[in-house]
């Protein structure tokens, strides 16, 4: 027995059973529990992903524990026996045809001994045309002797395949995203969507090797550009076509941006920012930020302040437009675009994973959305 043992003491004519508690029970060691899940391939018709290795990693007080391994069965199911400790978090990971997939963090509440998770994998693609940038933000803070620049890009993969990059490099990884930085850029910092393990510097910028799953992926980074005179033109050649490009610059330095159009200023907790924007901007476009009145007298702002402003801009200008369709799972109309339908599928998947839909209703709605994406049969 795990928590107790029976000690028997013989007394003349009597058998006395004494329940002896083990040190483990006395110490309040958490009970054992199970984490089970199902893996489905969501490229085309949803189907079980059988025979896939699954690795379960645990974090205890920020320290990684020895991982556990399992393999999905013919119905895509897997299961792990773990310690049901509310102080631990677990993440299931799968590598499938060049794509890496993770579950959401799994934790046990007090008294729980069983948790479940649903995971999705997709077939791979090496076609970069599946990616587009929905919005590209460039935020500039002039400071004493330098400009601090933050760039935020929202990528959309509107297909049901994971983009895994092109030809493998010498290290076996595949380049998926490339970002060109201005000449003289320094102090590069990753702010969102970029990980040290997957990013490498180049002579002209940085390269990412992380795959891009269907849906949205947000990328943000910051850097500084030295300023040595009162005027400066900062050229930014766009690596990707963008549905919308937005440039924000704070005063008192004057800013003009070509070929973007001047919009109303934006007021934030960090101050007032001039705003320029353009729609349907092609890849390779030179967006030129022309400053006058540099250097300004105030010191270079802290990166934390810039990051806070970047988050504010993203929340105020990006996500209300992009994420609203994911929360509305209404049946699509004939006027919906392919991207709307893809986001509808993602929202449907999220609701099913959260247990808000029965499997029958989920499959029926998903099949309907996929049929509309494919269009009428030839």
CA distance 304 to 361: 45
Measure the CA dihedral 255/261/267/272, to 10°: 10
Give 58's pLDDT tier (boundaries 50, 70, 90): very high
Per the CB < 8 A criterion, the answer to whether 255 and 274 are in contact is: yes
CATH of 31-121, one of 2.60.40.1120, 3.30.565.10, 2.30.42.10, 1.10.3720.10: 2.60.40.1120
Mean predicted confidence (pLDDT) in 148-154 = 92
CA distance 85 to 157: 37
| CATH of the domain spanning 128-321 | 2.60.40
- pTM assigned to the model: 0.72
- Quick one: pLDDT at residue 228? 85
Which positions ≥6 away from 364 have C-beta within 8 Å?
A: none
Residue 161 Cα distances to 48, 172, 353, angstroms: 16, 21, 19
CA distance 180 to 182: 7
For residue 332, is pLDDT > 70?
no
- Quick one: pLDDT at residue 30? 73
For residue 290, is pLDDT > 80?
yes
Please indicate whether residue 150 or residue 24 has the higher confidence score (pLDDT).
150
Q: Which residues pair with 178 in a beta bridge?
A: 207
Whether the bond into 295 is cis, omega within 30 of 0: yes
CA distance 80 to 58: 12
- Quick one: pLDDT at residue 371? 63
- Quick one: pLDDT at residue 141? 87
Look over the chain and give the mean of its residue pLDDT values, rounded to a whole number: 80
330: DSSP letter: P
- Quick one: pLDDT at residue 356? 58
Question: What's phi and psi for 227, nearest 5 deg?
Answer: -120, 125
- Quick one: pLDDT at residue 340? 59
Mean predicted confidence (pLDDT) in 334-343 = 55
- Quick one: pLDDT at residue 71? 98
**Sequence ranges of the chain with CATH classification 2.60.40.1120:** 31-121
For residue 322, is pLDDT > 90?
no
- Quick one: pLDDT at residue 294? 82
């Amino acid at each position: 027995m795990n928590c107790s043992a029976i000690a028997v003491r013989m007394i003349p004519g009597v058998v006395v059973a004494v329940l002896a508690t083990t040190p483990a029970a006395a110490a309040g060691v958490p009970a054992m529990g199970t984490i089970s899940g199902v893996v489905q391939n969501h490229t085309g018709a949803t189907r079980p992903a059988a025979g896939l290795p699954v690795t379960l990693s645990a974090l205890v007080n920020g320290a990684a524990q020895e991982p556990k391994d399992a393999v999905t069965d013919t119905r895509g199911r897997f299961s792990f026996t773990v310690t049901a400790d509310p102080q631990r978090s677990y993440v299931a990971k799968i590598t499938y045809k060049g794509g890496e997939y993770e579950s959401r963090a799994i934790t046990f509440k007090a008294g729980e001994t069983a948790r479940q998770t649903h995971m999705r994998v997709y077939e791979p693609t090496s076609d970069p045309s599946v990616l587009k940038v929905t919005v590209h933000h460039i935020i500039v803070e002039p400071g004493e002797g330098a400009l601090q620049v933050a760039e935020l890009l929202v990528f959309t993969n509107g297909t049901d395949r994971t983009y895994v990059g092109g030809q493998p490099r010498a290290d076996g990884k595949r380049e998926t995203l490339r970002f060109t930085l201005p000449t003289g850029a320094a102090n590069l910092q990753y702010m969102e969507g970029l990980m040290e393990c997957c990013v490498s510097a180049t002579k002209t910028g940085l390269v990412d090797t992380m795959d891009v799953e269907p849906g949205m992926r947000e990328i943000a980074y910051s850097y500084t550009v030295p300023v040595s005179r009162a005027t400066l033109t900062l050229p930014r050649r766009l690596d990707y076509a963008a549905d919308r490009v937005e440039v924000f610059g704070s005063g008192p330095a004057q800013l003009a941006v070509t070929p973007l159009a001047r919009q109303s200023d934006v007021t934030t907790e960090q101050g007032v920012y001039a705003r320029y924007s353009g729609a349907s901007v092609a890849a390779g476009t030179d967006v030129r930020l022309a400053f006058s009145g540099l250097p300004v007298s105030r010191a270079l702002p802290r990166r934390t302040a810039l990051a806070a402003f970047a988050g504010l801009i993203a929340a105020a200008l990006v996500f209300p437009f992009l994420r609203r369709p994911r929360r509305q799972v209404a049946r699509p109309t004939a006027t919906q675009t392919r991207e709307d339908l893809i986001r509808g599928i993602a929202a449907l998947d999220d609701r099913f994973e959260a247990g808000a839909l029965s499997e029958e209703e989920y499959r029926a709605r998903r099949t309907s959305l996929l049929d509309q994406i494919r269009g009428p049969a030839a």
